[in-house]
Amino acid sequence: MLTWQKAPLNAQKKQRNYYSGKKKKHTLKSQVVIETQSLKVICTAHGKGKEHDFQLFKTSRVKPLESIEIIADKGYQGIKKIHKSSYTPRKKPKNKSLTSKEREYNKE
Protein backbone atom coordinates (compact mmCIF):
# COMPACT_ATOMS: atom_id res chain seq x y z
CA MET A 1 0.00 0.00 0.00
CA LEU A 2 1.34 3.41 -0.99
CA THR A 3 0.99 6.36 1.32
CA TRP A 4 1.13 9.94 0.17
CA GLN A 5 3.23 12.28 2.26
CA LYS A 6 2.92 16.02 2.05
CA ALA A 7 6.15 17.93 1.47
CA PRO A 8 7.50 19.94 4.41
CA LEU A 9 6.20 23.50 4.61
CA ASN A 10 9.53 25.18 3.77
CA ALA A 11 9.91 22.95 0.68
CA GLN A 12 6.45 24.03 -0.48
CA LYS A 13 7.43 27.70 -0.13
CA LYS A 14 10.60 27.17 -2.16
CA GLN A 15 8.65 25.29 -4.80
CA ARG A 16 6.05 28.08 -5.04
CA ASN A 17 8.77 30.53 -6.15
CA TYR A 18 9.32 28.52 -9.32
CA TYR A 19 5.66 28.03 -10.23
CA SER A 20 4.65 29.80 -13.43
CA GLY A 21 0.91 30.44 -13.41
CA LYS A 22 0.92 30.98 -17.17
CA LYS A 23 2.55 27.62 -17.94
CA LYS A 24 0.92 25.84 -14.97
CA LYS A 25 4.28 24.21 -14.24
CA HIS A 26 7.40 24.79 -12.20
CA THR A 27 9.87 26.53 -14.49
CA LEU A 28 13.14 28.41 -14.72
CA LYS A 29 13.56 31.43 -16.97
CA SER A 30 16.76 32.06 -18.93
CA GLN A 31 17.87 35.13 -20.83
CA VAL A 32 20.70 35.18 -23.35
CA VAL A 33 22.23 38.35 -24.81
CA ILE A 34 23.84 37.73 -28.22
CA GLU A 35 25.89 40.00 -30.47
CA THR A 36 24.22 39.58 -33.87
CA GLN A 37 27.21 40.03 -36.17
CA SER A 38 29.55 37.51 -34.59
CA LEU A 39 26.81 35.48 -32.81
CA LYS A 40 28.86 35.56 -29.59
CA VAL A 41 27.05 35.14 -26.28
CA ILE A 42 27.64 38.28 -24.24
CA CYS A 43 25.66 37.49 -21.11
CA THR A 44 23.30 34.92 -19.64
CA ALA A 45 20.89 35.36 -16.73
CA HIS A 46 18.60 32.93 -14.97
CA GLY A 47 15.58 33.50 -12.78
CA LYS A 48 12.58 31.90 -11.20
CA GLY A 49 9.74 30.88 -13.51
CA LYS A 50 7.31 33.54 -12.39
CA GLU A 51 9.82 36.39 -12.77
CA HIS A 52 8.97 38.82 -15.57
CA ASP A 53 11.31 39.09 -18.60
CA PHE A 54 12.05 42.78 -18.08
CA GLN A 55 12.68 42.30 -14.36
CA LEU A 56 15.21 39.59 -15.20
CA PHE A 57 16.92 42.02 -17.60
CA LYS A 58 17.13 44.71 -14.91
CA THR A 59 18.50 42.35 -12.24
CA SER A 60 21.09 40.90 -14.63
CA ARG A 61 22.69 44.39 -14.74
CA VAL A 62 23.53 44.18 -18.43
CA LYS A 63 24.68 47.67 -19.47
CA PRO A 64 24.92 47.80 -23.28
CA LEU A 65 26.57 50.81 -24.88
CA GLU A 66 24.22 53.53 -26.15
CA SER A 67 25.51 52.94 -29.69
CA ILE A 68 24.19 49.37 -29.63
CA GLU A 69 20.64 48.76 -30.83
CA ILE A 70 18.48 46.41 -28.78
CA ILE A 71 15.67 44.51 -30.48
CA ALA A 72 13.40 42.87 -27.90
CA ASP A 73 9.96 41.26 -27.77
CA LYS A 74 6.83 42.57 -26.02
CA GLY A 75 8.04 41.24 -22.67
CA TYR A 76 10.51 44.13 -22.55
CA GLN A 77 8.02 47.03 -22.76
CA GLY A 78 9.63 50.01 -21.02
CA ILE A 79 13.22 49.25 -22.02
CA LYS A 80 13.20 52.50 -24.01
CA LYS A 81 13.38 54.40 -20.69
CA ILE A 82 16.62 52.63 -19.78
CA HIS A 83 18.25 52.33 -23.22
CA LYS A 84 17.40 54.97 -25.85
CA SER A 85 18.25 52.94 -28.96
CA SER A 86 16.01 49.96 -28.26
CA TYR A 87 13.02 48.68 -30.19
CA THR A 88 10.01 46.65 -29.07
CA PRO A 89 6.82 45.86 -31.00
CA ARG A 90 3.85 48.18 -30.61
CA LYS A 91 1.06 46.86 -28.42
CA LYS A 92 -2.51 46.79 -29.70
CA PRO A 93 -4.66 49.30 -27.79
CA LYS A 94 -7.60 47.87 -25.90
CA ASN A 95 -10.74 47.66 -28.09
CA LYS A 96 -8.85 49.09 -31.08
CA SER A 97 -6.56 47.77 -33.77
CA LEU A 98 -3.05 48.67 -34.87
CA THR A 99 -2.62 51.05 -37.79
CA SER A 100 -0.97 49.79 -40.95
CA LYS A 101 2.19 51.77 -40.08
CA GLU A 102 2.35 50.15 -36.64
CA ARG A 103 1.89 46.67 -38.15
CA GLU A 104 4.68 47.41 -40.65
CA TYR A 105 6.93 48.58 -37.76
CA ASN A 106 6.26 45.33 -35.88
CA LYS A 107 7.18 43.24 -38.94
CA GLU A 108 10.50 45.05 -39.33
pLDDT digits (tens, 9 = 90+) for 48-70: 777 777 787 878 777 777 777 87
pLDDT of residue 4: 57
Question: Sorting pLDDT into bands at 50, 70 and 90, what band is 18?
Answer: low
Indicate the range of 7-21, 26-40, 42-56, 77-91 predicted with least confidence: 7-21
Please give the single-letter amino acid code of residue 6.
K
DSSP label of 68: S
Please state the rounded mean pLDDT for residues 6-30: 67
The 10 Å Cβ neighbour count of residue 56 is 19
Rounded distance, CA 48 to CA 20, Å? 8
Rounded distance, CA 66 to CA 52, Å? 24
